[in-house]
A and B are shown apart, each in its own frame.
Chain A
Amino acid sequence: MENDEQLERFFDQMKKQDERIEIPAFPEVKTRKFGFWIPAGIAASMIFAFLFIQEPAPIESTTPEVVIITLVEDENQNQHFTIEESTFLDTWESPTASLLTEY
């Protein structure tokens, strides 16, 4: 087609002119992505810290929860209290149980 020939000539000449344009070198594009070693290093440090810096949990000592106060009479018939601390109670006697037998 005549029209297209005219345009093709136009663009051929334009391309010829553009050959003089200085094409910039292909840029060395540095991506902003993290490399493999940075996250790997962070992960390794965290594992190291978790394994070696972790303090042993203190073992909880059992605290006595029961205080047993007993009134004891010795051979001279002197009465005195003995105080014991324990975590449990074997037997329990009501403080008023003696009333049933002594009176």
Chain B
Amino acid sequence: MNRSQLDHILKAHHRDAYLWARQCCSFEDEMAKDVLQQAYLKILEGQAKLKDASKAKTWLFSIIRYTAINEFRKAGKVVSLSDSYDPVELTEEVDATDYQGIIKHLPEMQREVILMVFYHQMTIAQSAEILQIGLGTARTHYDRGKKKLKELITKVQIQEEYGK
């Protein structure tokens, strides 16, 4: 695959790629821009190679996620991959329209699977590929994430009603 073909693929997915980078960087814009730039550089320098053009989006998302994790490590921030199923605790008041704030309450893996499926319209199998986990594990994260997010949304709605 030559440079212009790669450019074309990257440009076609640029918006989604930036939004995914943001989601991988805890919705921090500057970090997301930096991560995306580094991911593009890896691709154009040939450090990451696309073998199957039909999997371009999965491949790109995977590189972005990996680069974001690396950035967190460099910054000394530990990324928790634990998948707790404790009842959702909302310590502070969250606005019902603060979607990012709500989704940040989900554990890392659950959040990523849910975002990939519901926000980026990917399949659970594609999410499993990006997260480099088995399909069964991805399904578990998906089910738990869905349940937890639903609880969160309900809690926020109740909080708002009591507030009024």
Residues of A within 8 A of B (CB): 3-4, 6-8, 10-11, 13-15, 17-18, 21, 23-24, 26-27, 29, 31-33
B146 touches A33 (CB 8 A): no
Main secondary structure of the interface of B (DSSP, over half): helix
Cβ contacts B71-108/A at 8 Å (1 or 0 each): 00000000000000000000000000101101100000
Task: Judge if B138 is at the interface, Cβ distance under 8 Å.
Answer: no
> With A23-B15, A26-B10, A26-B14 in contact, do A13 and B97 touch (Cβ < 8 Å)?
yes
Residue pair A29, B41 in contact (C-beta under 8 Å): yes
19 A–B contacts, CB within 8 A, in A order? A3-B147, A3-B150, A4-B146, A6-B150, A6-B153, A7-B118, A10-B118, A14-B99, A14-B100, A15-B119, A21-B19, A24-B36, A26-B11, A26-B14, A27-B37, A29-B41, A29-B44, A31-B44, A32-B45
- Residue-wise, chain B 152-164 has the 8 Å CB interface mask toward A (1 for contact) of 0100000000000
The answer, among A6, A11, A32, for a CB contact under 8 Å with B119, is A11
Main secondary structure of the interface of A (DSSP, over half): helix
Q: Tell me the B residues contacting A by CB distance below 8 Å.
A: 10-11, 14-15, 18-19, 22, 33, 36-37, 40-41, 44-46, 97, 99-100, 102-103, 114, 118-119, 146-147, 149-150, 153
A21 to B99: give the CA distance in the assembly, Å: 14
Q: Chain A residues near B33: list those with CB within 8 A.
A: 24
- The complex places the Cα of A32 from the Cα of B36 at a distance, in Å, of 17
A13 touches B99 (CB 8 A): yes
A29 with B40: in contact, given A7-B118, A17-B97 (CB under 8 Å)? yes
Q: By the criterion CB–CB under 8 Å, are B18 and A24 in contact? A: yes
Distance A87 CA – B150 CA, assembled complex (angstroms): 106
